[in-house]
Amino acid sequence: MAYKFLDHTADLGVEVTGESTEELLQSCLDALREWSFQEVGSSCITHNVELYGDTETELWFKFLNEVVFYMDKNEAPLKVSLKEYHLGCSCYLRAELITAEHSKRKQAVKAFTLHNFGFSVQMIFDV
Amino acid sequence: MWRQLDEFVYEIPLGAKEGMHVPGRIFATESILKQAEADKALEQVVNVATLPGILKYSLAMPDIHWGYGFPIGGVAAFDVDRGVITPGGIGFDINCGVRLLVTPLTEDEVRPKLSELLDVLYREVPSGVGSEGFIKLSERELNKVLEMGAKWAVEQGYGTDEDLERLESQGQLKGADASKVSKRAKERGLEQLGTLGSGNHFLEVQKVDEVFDEKVAKQMGIFPGQVTVMLHTGSRGLGHQVATDYIDVMLKASKKYGIKLVDKQLAAAPFRSEEGLNYWAAMQCAANFAWANRQVITDYIRKAFIKVFGNEVKNRISVIYDVAHNIAKLEKHMVDGMERELVVHRKGATRSFPAHHPELPSVYENIGQPVIIPGSMGSSSFLLIGLPGSMEQSWGSTCHGAGRVMSRKEAIRRGNYPALIDSLGEKGILVRSAERETLLEEAPEAYKDVDEVVNVVVQVGLNSKVARMRPMGVVKG
C-alpha cells in the first residue's frame, strides 16, 4: 500500500507515496476507494479529465474533487493514467480516470480540502 | 499563548501571531481549551484573527475542535465594506443544521411501538451514503428550491405555513441566486432532496427527560416525558460542491485582492467584490436547499408517525425551531455603541438571539430564540434559549453540539460494533443504521461531554436551559 491514513479530529487525513505524479494520484485513488467503498462494481467507465490551474496545488485540488464528484455518483475510482502534466505559469493536466459504476459505498467523502496539503520529497545523498 | 479572563473565558492576545487584527476569545473549560490546543484548533482561532475586516474577536465556542479554515465552533464578524467572506468560515456542508419537532405522545405511549416506528422512519426517510430521495427534480424546479428554500417545500404540500414561521430566517435566504450555482452542484442536488445523508447526520426519537424552565417550556408546548424528534442534516452534495467550486474562486480572489493568507483554507474575497457576492448568492442557495431538505424530511417523519400511531397524531407534530450551524448571515449588531451591518460567519456554531430581537417569530418574541444542541449518539441533547449575553459577547452565537474529540479513524479502530449496540440497548436506545462504520465513528466516546459544553455557554450567559432530551431511538445513515 502506498498510502496511510492519518488521524484528524473531524476529517480524514491521507499520506501517499509514489515515485511519479501518476503513482501519487493512483495512491490517492486507492486510499479513497478503501475508505469509501465496501463493494466495487464490475462495470467500468472511462472519464477523460482535462484541467487547468495556476498552480500544481490547484490541479490536485481540481483532480481530487473530480474524483469525489464521481464517488458521489457511487462510482469507485480504480485507475488514473496521466496523459499530460505541465507545470509552469499555467498548469495543465490531462488524464484518463477509470471508475466502477454501481459500487456500494460505506462512508462518504464530501470534498478534498487544502487542509495540510503539501508535497515532500525524500532523497539519499552518497556521502 | 492564552490567558484566562474569567472562569470560562480565555483570550489569545493580539500579537500572538504576526498579522492578527483582533484577539482570539474562547469560551471553554480548561480541559476543553487544552484539547483544542492539542489538536491545533487554537492555531485556527489565531489564523482567523488575521483576516481583513474582522471585528472585535476571533471567537470559539466550547465545542471547538480542529476544522477546515475556521475551527469548528468558530465565529467571526466582518465589516461589510472592509471585510471578507470565506467558505472556510462556513464549511462544506452549508447550512448543516438541526430541527426539533414535538409530538403529543408520551414515552409510555411510544415505547411499545418504538421498534416499529424506527423501522418505518428508516424506510420513509432515505439515509446512508449515496442515498437518493423520492423526489426527482428537474433543473428548473431545483432552481426554485434554491431560491425559495423551505417555502418551496411547503408550497408542494410538505408542511404548513406555521412551520415556516418557526425556522431560522423562515427557511429562506432572499439573496439566493440559482444562476451562481454550478451545473455540477445542481447535478449533485437533483436526487438528494429529502435525504438524511450519512456521517454525523441523524434522526432521533427522544423523550423530554428534564425541564429546567417550566414557564418557557410550557409556552413552547414542551412537557416532561413528551416524545420529541430531532433531525440533523444539511445541504448534501449540492452544498459540498458549492463550497468546492468557490474555494477555487476564492484562492484566485485572495491573490487578486492582495489578501495575505496564513492558511489557504481561509481563502477569501472582499464581501462587496464580484467573487464575494457570487459566493454569497450561491451559499444562500445551498442554505435554502438544506432548509427545503429538512422541511421535506419533516413531512416524512409526520407520515411515519401517522402510519404507526394513526390519525390521532395528524396535524399534532409541530416544529419547535430549526437552526443553521454552518452559515454566514448579514446581521445588525452594536459595535462601539453604533449599530452596524456585519457578515457573521458561524462554522459549527448556532445563532442565539435573545427575546425581542426583530428577527424572532412572534411566538418566541418574549422568550428568545430556541437553540437546539444535539449531544453525541446515546447522550442527552438540550433545548436552550438565547440571552442578551450572546449579543454582547458572541455576535448572537453559541455552540452547536458536543464537538468531536476522537478522529473518525480512531473511533472505528477502537470501536466494537456489537458492544456499542449492547451498550445503547442497555440505555433503552434502539438503532437503525445503514453502515457499521458510520455508527462506530459516531460512538459517544468520540465526542466531548455535551453537559460540559452546555454548562459553559450557560455560565457565560449566552443561553439558559429549557429542557434536556434523552434518545429512545436513532436512525443514522
Report pLDDT for B343. Answer: 98
Name the residue facing B92 among A72, A106, A111 (closest C-beta).
A111
Chain A contact set for B92 (CB, 8 A): 110-111, 113
Grid coordinates of B70: 475556521
Q: Residue B192 region, left (φ>0) first, then alpha (ψ -120 to 50), else beta?
A: alpha
At residue B228, does pLDDT exceed 80? yes
| CB-CB contact of B447 with B403 (8 Å) | yes
pLDDT digits (tens, 9 = 90+) for B264-277: 999 999 999 999 99
Q: What is the mean pLDDT of residues A98-111?
A: 91
Domains annotated for chain A, with CATH where assigned, are 3-105 (3.55.10.10)
CA distance B292 to B415: 35
Q: Which of B39, B93, B198 sits opposite A9 (nearest CB)?
A: B39
Query: Confidence class of residue B405 from pLDDT cuts 50, 70 and 90?
Result: confident
Residue B259 has pLDDT above 80, yes or no: yes
User: Nearest-5° angle of CA B68, CA B271, CA B289?
Assistant: 65
Q: Which of B367, B360, B362 is nearest to B383 (CA)?
A: B367
B265 with A114: Cβ contact below 8 A: yes
- Strands B24-27 and B58-65 turn out to be parallel
A11 contacts in B (CB within 8 Å)? 68, 408
For residue range A34-77, list pLDDT tens digits in order: 999 999 999 999 999 999 999 999 999 999 999 999 999 999 99
CB within 8 A of B325, min separation 6: which ones?
B96, B97, B98, B346, B348, B349, B350, B400, B401
For residue range B452-473, what is the model confidence (pLDDT) as tens digits?
Answer: 999 999 999 999 999 999 999 9
Give the pLDDT score at B444: 81
- Cβ contact, residue pair B404, A9, below 8 Å: yes
Neighbours of A104 (CB within 10 A): 16
Residue B57 has phi, psi (to 5 degrees) of: -150, 155
Are B381 and B204 a contacting pair, CB within 8 Å? yes
Element (H, E) at A65: helix A56-71
Query: Under 8 Å CB-to-CB from B347, ≥6 apart: which residues?
Result: B67, B69, B70, B71, B72, B73, B74, B75, B88, B89, B90, B91, B326
- 8 Å CB contact between B437 and B431: no
- Give catalytic residues of B, as residue numbers: 400
Reply yes or no on whether the pLDDT at B477 is more than 80.
Answer: no
Which residues from chain B sit within 8 angstroms of residue A116, using beta carbons? none
- Interchain proximity A11–B435, CB inside 8 Å: no
Cβ atoms of residues B372 and B349 within 8 Å: no
CB contacts < 8 A, A to B, total 90
Q: How confident is the model at residue A8 (pLDDT cuts 50, 70, 90)?
A: confident
Counting every residue written for chain A, the total comes to 127
Average pLDDT, chain B: 94
CB contact under 8 A, B130 and A72: yes
- Name the burial class of residue B363, with classes exposed (0-12), middle (13-18) and buried (19+) by CB atoms within 10 angstroms of its CB: middle
**pLDDT higher at B356 or A116:** B356
For A46, other C-beta atoms within 10 Å of its C-beta total 12
B-interface mutation test, from A3, A5, A7, A9, most B Cβ less than 10 A away: A9
pLDDT digits (tens, 9 = 90+) for B290-345: 999 999 999 999 999 999 999 999 999 999 999 999 999 999 999 999 999 999 99
Domain hosting B460: range is 3-476
List the grid coordinates of B95. 447550512
Q: Is the pLDDT of residue B117 over 80?
A: yes
> Structurally, how many domains does chain B consist of?
1
Q: Residue length, chain B? A: 477
What was the pLDDT predicted at B170?
Answer: 98
pLDDT at A81: 97
Tally Cβ neighbours within 10 Å of residue A41.
Answer: 17
pTM score, whole prediction? 0.94
Question: By CB neighbour count within 10 A (0-12 exposed, 13-18 middle, 19+ buried), where does A92 fall?
Answer: middle
Mean pLDDT of the region A104-118: 86
Contacts of B421 (CB under 8 A, 6+ apart): B431
- CB count within 10 Å of CB B415 equals 19
Please report the pLDDT score of residue B324 as a whole number.
98
Q: What angle do CA B412, B416, B417 make, to 5 degrees?
A: 95
For residue B39, the chain A residue with the least C-alpha distance is: A9
| Cβ-Cβ contacts under 8 Å, B435 against chain A | 106-107
Task: Choose the closest CB to A115 out of B68, B188, B237.
Answer: B68
CATH number of the domain at B233, please.
3.90.1860.10
pLDDT tens-place string over residues B163-215: 999 999 999 999 999 999 999 999 999 999 999 988 889 999 999 999 999 99
* pLDDT tens digit sequence for B45-83: 999 999 999 999 999 999 999 888 999 999 999 999 999
Q: Do B199 and A11 touch (CB under 8 A)?
A: no
* Pick from B68, B405, B435: CB nearest A107: B435
* pLDDT at site B302: 98
Secondary structure of residue A97 in the 3-state scheme: strand
B202: which chain A residues are within 8 Å (Cβ-Cβ)?
A: none
Q: What residue type is assigned to position B348 of the chain?
A: G
Q: Kindly determine whether residue A107 and residue B438, on different chains, have CB atoms separated by under 8 Å.
A: yes
